[in-house]
Amino acid sequence: MRKFGSILNKEFLLLFRDIPGLIILFLMPVLLIFVVTLAQEKALSGQQSRTKILFADEINNPFSAGLLASLDSSGFFEPVTRIKGNSVDAKTAAELIRQGEFSFGIVLPRADTTIILLIDPTLQDSYKTTVINSLTYLVRGTQSKGAMDGILESLPANMKTVIAATVAESLRKLPPIKQEYALKDRSEIRPGVIQNNVPGFILFAMFFIVIPLAGSLITEKNEGSFRRLLSLPVTLTGILGGKVVAYLAVCLIQFMLMISIGIWVFPALFGFPPLEIGTGYAAIALATIAASLAAIGFGIIVGATASTHNQAALFGSVMVVLLGVISGTFLPIHLMPSAIRFISHLSPIRWGIDNYLDIFIREAGFIGILPNTLLLLLFFILAMIVSISIFARRN
């Protein structure tokens, strides 16, 4: 025990002496979580604002008035009928959209019954399809209402009154539509940008220890201190165990830092809803330890296989960013192509993120996080076995 304490003391001394490395280790994930979260919140707020639609009405009939009212009351679109005091016509609408000042337009031409939807050709297909589908439904709905009104007008007065009352009564009896999250009963957790981003950056921060951890192993190998340690009455397992415990403490500090940012910093500075972590503290502890061990195993195996600091820093940083991208750290996983989503299931960062999402949002317990936790622990064990065999063969 005294030998292990000495090894552990040596690891903490190495950590505290590398002040620039510690600053990067903690500052980089903090900066990234601020940048990515604020960017996503801005993008989501932009999506929730009303889309401006140029409205060129050249027929001025009840249908065009009804369509204009439907657009305005939809909550998603803001019809623009005048530009610089002049009414929008088909030519003006086409020119403004061609110049990129507006993205969409509706033209109701005087000489034809065709309804023209103008589209900016530079728009992404997914966004364009979503808006065009919504506009089409509004147009068809207005046309259907106009056709129904026309039928009612052609009926005798007494029959028209009866049918109109019957239709109104049927519409009144339609059941309401309510949106709910599929959460446990009485749950107060509401998914949001903070709820989804913090788990990703917890894992990103943990795996970022690959740079200092692998660097310390390479330094000891190149300077010969690793061989001198092995000449003492200590085992290779004990030497690596000291690094595991030391960097486990670093990972736990990173976890607390990210949680604190989600709970207190974002609400205080930007007014975001605070991070809700639920009450499954034991499950959170298990998920955190498993994720930390997986990150440590990754750092040790990189340090065991790399020969220089440049190799370890380049490979380690690139792999962490790559794994973070495909695992949903910077972009929600459901927005990625199916092939990327499939590959992400092989990433330990994805396993750790899913554990936190299950606990924070789905309020899972030990059983719910058990599969991904076992994968993280298995990854750590395999990484340690491979690393120990590499060190044993070289020494």
89 and 150 together in one domain: yes
195 and 305 together in one domain: yes
290 pLDDT higher than 60: yes
Task: Tell me the C-alpha to C-alpha distance, in Å, between residue 190 and each of 38, 154, 186, 369, 380.
Answer: 18, 51, 11, 20, 33
- At residue 3 the predicted structure's pLDDT band, cuts being 50, 70 and 90, is low
- At residue 8 the predicted structure's pLDDT band, cuts being 50, 70 and 90, is confident
Question: What are the DSSP calls for 126-159, one per residue?
Answer: HHHHHHHHHHHHHHHHHHHHHHHHHHHHHS-HHH
181 pLDDT higher than 90: no
CA end-to-end span of the chain: 24
Boundaries of domain holding 251: 2-44+185-394
Q: What is the mean pLDDT of residues 386-392?
A: 88
Q: What is the mean pLDDT of residues 108-121?
A: 85
Say which range, 198-207, 291-300, 322-331, has the weakest mean pLDDT: 322-331
- 3-class SS of residue 108: strand
Q: What is the mean pLDDT of residues 40-44?
A: 71
81 and 22 together in one domain: no
pLDDT value at residue 182? 57
374 pLDDT higher than 90: yes
The average confidence (pLDDT) of the chain is 86
355 and 255 together in one domain: yes
Q: What is the mean pLDDT of residues 245-269?
A: 95
Which residues neighbour 56 within 8 Å (Cβ) at sequence distance 6 or greater? 88, 89, 90, 92, 93, 105, 106, 107, 108
142 and 204 together in one domain: no
CATH number of the domain residue 115 falls in: 3.40.190
Range from 252-266, 304-318, 336-350 that averages highest in pLDDT: 252-266
Model confidence, pTM: 0.75
On whether the CB atoms of residues 272 and 262 are closer than 8 A, the answer is no
Strands 104-108 vs 116-119: parallel, antiparallel or unpaired:
antiparallel
Q: Provide the domain count of the chain.
A: 2
pLDDT value at residue 300? 95
pLDDT value at residue 105? 93
On whether the CB atoms of residues 120 and 104 are closer than 8 A, the answer is yes
Q: Name the one residue in this structure whose structure tokens are 């500075």.
A: 269
346 and 212 together in one domain: yes
On whether the CB atoms of residues 95 and 101 are closer than 8 A, the answer is no
252 and 354 together in one domain: yes
What are the counts of helices (DSSP H) followed by strands (DSSP E) for the chain? 16, 6
Of the candidates 52, 60, 114, the residue with the CA atom closest to the CA atom of residue 87: 60
Say which range, 72-76, 228-232, 372-376, has the weakest mean pLDDT: 228-232
